[in-house]
Structure 1
Amino acid sequence: MSLPFPSPNIREIRDAIRAGTRTVEQTVGQAFDAAQRLQPALRAFIHLPASPIVNRASSEAPLAGVPVGVKDLIDTADMPTAYGSPAYEGRRPDKDAWIVARLRAAGATILGKTVTTEFAWRHPGATTNPWNHDHTPGGSSSGSAAAVAAGIVPLALGTQTFGSVIRPAAYCGVVGVKPSYGTIARTGVLPLSGSLDHLGIFTTNVADAVHVLGIVAGTDADDPHTTHVSRQGHGHGDAARRPPRIGVLREQIGGPIDEAQQQVLDQLAERLRADGAEIVDADLPVELVDAAQHASILLAVEAALTHGELVDRSPALVSAPMTALVAQGRTLPATGYANAKALQVLMARRFDRWLTEAATLDALLVAPASGEAPRGLDYTGDAAFCTPWTFLGVPAITLPVGFGPGGLPLGVQLVGASQRDAALLSLAAWVEERAGWSTAVASR
């Protein structure tokens, strides 16, 4: 299909509103019209209000006029939040999630609630891939990735427990950022696994992501997992001062990847090398290969604690994948869970030391997925290429770089050291300039 004309990015919206050449109402109205027009085929939103609920903040607010899609896992006081589940249909939160309140205070307008897989697990919603409606957009942040890719909104919120920001961003051809664990307070966001859950964002470019993260990174007393530090936000990383040193894994940690996915990784690495980057073949410490296995233990046990009561009370309203996950979590021994928790801390420290001291790398350049988005809507793709980095709590960003043989987007993933998000984003901006995405889109 032909994508609609992209919406203005955040910087363009801010500049136009401050210059008086565009109003907040015009910008939000355009996004709302696009959402309604595309909804029958795209199905990115689970809820749109009857008319836009415009935030008429000062034109000087950092996100004035910016329409935002909010994943239906994240509370909004003026719109339903049902977690993608019939068990919570019509649920109205008492107040906004911390991140939603933060966005509104910065002038953003919440356009609507985007589709999530049920409880951010494996039972898909109805959203389609904007590049081809016969393919998945990925999950669990399906609607958020699709809404940005389709040009409806320049910003959407997602969550990632395994691969639910990075993978759909790659499948849909947008920028997806999963910051370091605890960077954004999760108060008002339904947990799937407290040890793994991250809030993340979708944008059309790295500069917008940097701008937004500078606003939404922060702590909240009601979120015990927040670990915000001053290195988040607008700080410059090493890539702004010297040629970067980037590691390319000899073997992808998630398993084999498609030929086209390997090709875009290789081609980008060569472009970066030609522009001065030092590209280094790298082998991860051997114990990190088991990261996904330990993540699965944490997920199953913690999901059982969060969702087990609902499964017992209303089994007909819960999908088979979630029921199975809860059952799995209830069978796992406490010693196995405690061991996985301890290893999460130890392996995270080991990875950071290896990356920054032993390998002396600014980042890893890895695959975000095995290749293009799978055909059909019943399977949202394999999270294996993202899960280890989520388990370690390190920052990751995916950038669109080209297209596969099926005409669907392919991306790359950059992974950095924990709490060095600013440095990773600086490097990502440098890589973005050389990724060739705009050229690839124009040549379609």
Structure 2
Amino acid sequence: MSHSSPSPSIREIRDAVRAGTCTVEQIVGQAFDAGRRLQPELQAFIHLPASPLVNRADPDAPLAGVPVGVKDLIDTADMPTAYGSPAYEGHRPGKDAWVVARLREAGATVLGKTVTTEFAWRQPGATTNPWNKAHTPGGSSSGSAAAVAAGIVPLALGTQTFGSVIRPAAYCGVVGVKPSYGRIARTGVLPLSGSLDHLGVFTTNVADAVHALSVLAGSDADDPHAPHHHRERKGPLDAARRAPRIGVLRQQVSGAVDGAQQHVLDQLASRLRADGAEIVATDLPAELADAARHASILLAVEAALTHGDLVDRAPALVSAPMTALVEQGRALPATEYAKAKASQVKMALRFDRWLTEMAGLDALLVAPASGEAPRGLDYTGDAAFCTPWTFLGVPAVTLPVGFGPVGLPLGVQLVGASQHDAALLSLAEWVEGRTGWNIAVASR
């Protein structure tokens, strides 16, 4: 088992660097040593430099001294970026992705490149789950989730097209945040499906995610994918003024979850109710039932546009799952794609209106996955419990809450309205204090 005590939090690192009790070199050096030590078993990184490339920033910078794992789908000028594919082995981008430049400006050090499934699709890398190396860490942001869970870094970047931040975070027992669509500019991030791709973060606690996102959120003129809609939201809902209203689905978006997953959802809902939350049993609007089907159409067509040339040019270097996805996308009629695209905009507006006005909810409390991480490394798990929320472009947060029968982490997912990220994260912090996660970990 690679799981160890968590790395110092972002807040602890900032305080130590500012107070001068620790240098940036010491903190990054410790993270680098941990990464090297755990790499043979954990395989979280596809690239770690020979020695740490320390960013010697102003001690007052918001992320000074913070070591970060960056998913190998995201361009870095000083490290190879292979997108999880042998076709790009040794590829060195000309410049950093927008989000990496933002990290460096804020004082963070990119420790290394974390493992991704090939092109963020289904061909897994070698990363193991830090809690049990016989199980998957989830995908496609496998290495980022594992690096945070193993205590190597307090922050890692991931991407989500279906469930690639939320699911691995749940499987590895860390906090995962997928912000609203377009909240973090994706310039310099290899697309899988521009209509669905989101950048997200992994941390060990919600406060660190809030701080990281306050630095990383922003738009860029070169980002080819604009958000579905630009309605500005007013400030966070005043949770102090009234009890939060949280919806619990009578039926999960992808059908049944296993008994242990349902138990932790029910148990947490009871705790939140006891602490003053209003827990409302609800059903999603019927027309949202097609969200996953539409998402699959967008994914296949857009992946064919991005990766089709490579499949034609070098088929031996592309996995069977990606080749099949490209073929599927090429076979779909243009009218099907146009219908899916129109439905995405319409459903996103419908969901927001339903959640905030008709149901009057602050968030939904739902499953992030069907249960614990599957055994074996060939299958990274079912993304179906995340796909609708990604399709709708709404913010989602997963929190670790306990352990299942195999001894692996189980999480819950909170879903909010589009562009209500601050309100959702504020609620997530309140919920986090009631999960019992720290007690569950301490008792192991």
Name the structure 2 match of 1:17.
Answer: 17
Q: Which residue of 1 aligns with 2:379?
A: 379
The equivalent of 1:160 in structure 2 is: 160
Distance across 1 between alignment mates of 2:171 and 2:5: 19
1:8 match: secondary structure: coil
Taking structure 2 as the reference length, what is the TM-score of the superposition?
0.98
Q: CA deviation at 1:225?
A: 2.2
1:206 aligns with: 206
Correspondence list, 1:84-233, <5 A? 84-227=84-227
Structure-1 residue corresponding to 2:347: 347
SS in 1 for 2:374: coil
Shift of 1:287: 1.1
| Cα distance in 2 between the residues matched to 1:271 and 1:220 | 41
Measure the CA separation in 2 of the matches of 1:12 and 1:229: 35
How far the C-alpha of 1:231 sits from its partner, in A, is 5.5
1:77 and 1:413, CA in 2 relative to 1: closer, same or farther beyond 3 A? same
Residue of structure 2 equivalent to 1:428: 428
Deviation by residue 1:270-319 (Cα, 9 ceiling, x = unmatched): 00000000000010001111100000000000000000000000000000
Equivalences for residues 288-327 of structure 1 within 5 A? 288-327=288-327
**DSSP 3-state at the match of 1:383:** coil
Please state how far the C-alpha of 1:243 moved relative to its aligned partner: 1.3
* Maintained 8 Å contact 2:2/2:150: no
Question: Amino acid of the residue matched to residue 429 of structure 1?
Answer: E
Q: What is the SS of the residue equivalent to 1:164?
A: coil
Contact 1:231 1:421 in 2 (8 A): no
2:45 alignment partner in structure 1: 45
Quote how far apart the aligned CAs of 1:240 are: 4.1
Contact 2:187 2:224 in 1 (8 A): no
CA drift of 1:3 comes to 2.3
Shift of 1:226: 4.0
Structure 2 match to 1:65: 65
Are positions 1:408 and 2:408 aligned together? yes
Q: CA offsets per residue over residues 76-111 of structure 1, 9 Å max, x none?
A: 000000000000000000000000000000000000
- TM-superposition CA deviations, 1:326-369 (whole Å, max 9, x none): 00000000000000000000000110010011100000000000
Find the residue that maps to 2:434 and give its secondary structure: helix
Shift of 1:230: 6.6
**In structure 1, the residue corresponding to 2:193 is in which secondary structure?**
coil
Shift of residue 224, structure 1, vs aligned partner = 3.2
Task: Give 1:257 deviation, angstroms.
Answer: 0.3
| 8 Å Cα contact 1:238-1:427 kept in structure 2 | no
What SS does structure 1 have at the residue aligned with 2:289? helix
| One-letter amino acid matched to 1:202 | F
Match of 1:275 in 2: 275
Query: Is 1:251 aligned with 2:251?
Result: yes
Superposition CA RMSD, Å: 1.1
Equivalence for 2:361: 361
Q: Note the C-alpha offset of 1:2.
A: 6.2
The equivalent of 1:418 in structure 2 is 418
TM-score, structure 1 as length reference: 0.98
Structure 1 alignment gaps of length 5 or more: none
Aligned residue pairs total 442
Contact 1:238 1:426 in 2 (8 A): no
Kept after mapping to 2: 8 A contact 1:184/1:226 = no
Q: Quote the Cα distance in structure 2 between the aligned partners of 1:380 and 1:16.
A: 37
- Residue 241 of structure 1 deviates from its aligned partner by 3.5
Query: Which amino acid letter does the alignment assign opposite residue 239 of structure 1?
Result: A
Q: Is the 8 A contact 2:2 2:133 kept in 1?
A: no
Offset at residue 154 of structure 1 (A): 0.2
Deviation at 1:4, TM superposition (A): 1.9
SS in 2 for 1:295: helix
User: CA offsets, 1:203-233, max 9 Å, x none?
Assistant: 000000000111110010001324478759x
Quickly say closer, same or farther: Cα 1:322–1:134, change in 2 above 3 A.
Answer: same
The question of whether the paired residues in 2 share the 8 Å contact of 1:220 and 1:226 is answered with no
Amino acid at match of 1:335: T
Cα distance in 2 for residues equivalent to 1:46 and 1:440: 31
SS for the counterpart of 2:411 is: strand
Contact 2:2 2:41 in 1 (8 A): no
Identity value in percent = 84
What code does the residue aligned with 1:255 have?
A: G
Helix, strand or coil for the counterpart of 2:364?
strand
Task: Give the letter aligned to residue 184 of structure 1.
Answer: I
Deviation per CA, 1:120-162: give whole Å up to 9, x if none.
Answer: 0000000000000000000000000000000000000000000
Instruction: State the one-letter code of the partner of 1:291.
Output: A
Residue 140 of structure 1 aligns to a residue in which SS?
coil
Query: Measured at CA, do residues 49 and 241 of structure 1 come closer, stay the same or move farther in structure 2, by a change above 3 Å?
Result: farther
Cα displacement (A) at 1:73: 0.1
Whole-angstrom distance in 1 between the partners of 2:409 and 2:203? 15
Which residue type is aligned with residue 59 of structure 2?
S
Amino acid in structure 1 at the alignment position of 2:4: P
Does residue 56 (structure 1) correspond to residue 76 (structure 2)? The answer is no
Q: Distance in 2 between matches of 1:131 and 1:439?
A: 17
CA–CA separation in structure 2 for the residues paired with 1:373 and 1:356: 33
Distance 1:144 1:65 in 2: 18
Moved more, 214-223 or 236-245: 236-245
- Distance in 2 (CA, whole Å) between partners of 1:398 and 1:293 is 23
Check if 1:285 corresponds to 2:298. Answer: no
Q: Secondary structure at the match of 1:51?
A: coil
Q: Distance in 2 between matches of 1:133 and 1:31?
A: 21
3-state DSSP of counterpart to 1:368: coil
Contact 2:65 2:109 in 1 (8 A): yes
SS in 1 for 2:111: strand
